[in-house]
Structure 1
């Protein structure tokens, strides 16, 4: 699938690796100027140097001040933002809810849900002013179906779905589309945070019998970022390999 993002500026959080990087490569390859935001400032700067039209910015999405600073720096360097892909997220540890560390649960919610809120909050005013924008939040199939021993991750991603639906309705009177994707697991560095037992569980639930490939995710997200996606908003698009039951 080919896209045309000439003249547009995109923010991609978690852009130094994984789905975020794969999406950034699609956007950049189709002409967009791309701001990669990542908590690992050194890595994101290195990655940005390897891609045409990209700039890297250190940003902790869990921290509103950090997000605000990254937004101001992005607009100063690349211009008004019309595309946002919110891919930054963490899996956290695996444990039954009754034993789940309270601080760990809060940390996961702060990154995955509050981080999504912060980033959406930062980009929406400019999109409203322009009357145009595309936002894609990366949720998870765990947010729809719930994974055992991953209550923090599952509930934080369910929150991302709800936030997306709410914001999509708020902006539906403009040419601003707000959607999310609910992928099954892809083999990225996020697996380093999970037990092998949990990884095996996730694979066992995917009817296709394999994990998601990053280019597969990037192509769907690329469409959701495009002008051609002019009607759908407030929706959750599955990338679950047949796992999703609704």
Structure 2
């Protein structure tokens, strides 16, 4: 793993309308890391993810990705440059088939190699079995698998997972954790995970950041992020 930061965020401020949610966030991710941002509901975690993807424009601070200043880039350019986003609530295209959803994901990967459908289907075989099925008819867990696969197909350097366990049964959560770990191991993709599910955090993350009231207030090393007791105290009300 290289020590060169893949993503470096400094003094990031962002929000909605006149309300500032992120109050100067600093964090970094090196290549190949799996990082979790943990905290109670409403502290700004999803706002952070939306700002990193370009869906929200920062009011201050900088975002450097792969060595270049990406602060002013829009969502389309960030996706083309290698940031894959799996949003909270999945947001698949319900009227499109599974295959058509994956083809949409190909657009972001142009110039970074051919889409690897064999790998996607190896991780998520049900997507191959049901490739002609409309995405809106899938279960919540299957839609989450599709959302991850849609990001994977673009060969991203960084995957942003926003609450991937939300509304998903425990067996599927375990599958997601295993698949993300394997994908990270095989391809070196970095992962930034925003999550409330204790089991997923401790089984997947290698280190973490704690967010409160729009700020990073603590960093968690490998031993801390894998300690259920340590992580739990940042998730409980």
Q: What TM-score bracket applies, with the shorter chain setting the length?
A: 0.3 to 0.5
Q: Which has the higher contact order (CA 8 A, sep 6+)?
A: 2
Normalising by structure 2, we get a TM-score of 0.33
TM-score, normalization: structure 1?
A: 0.32
- Structure 1 or 2: larger helix share? 1
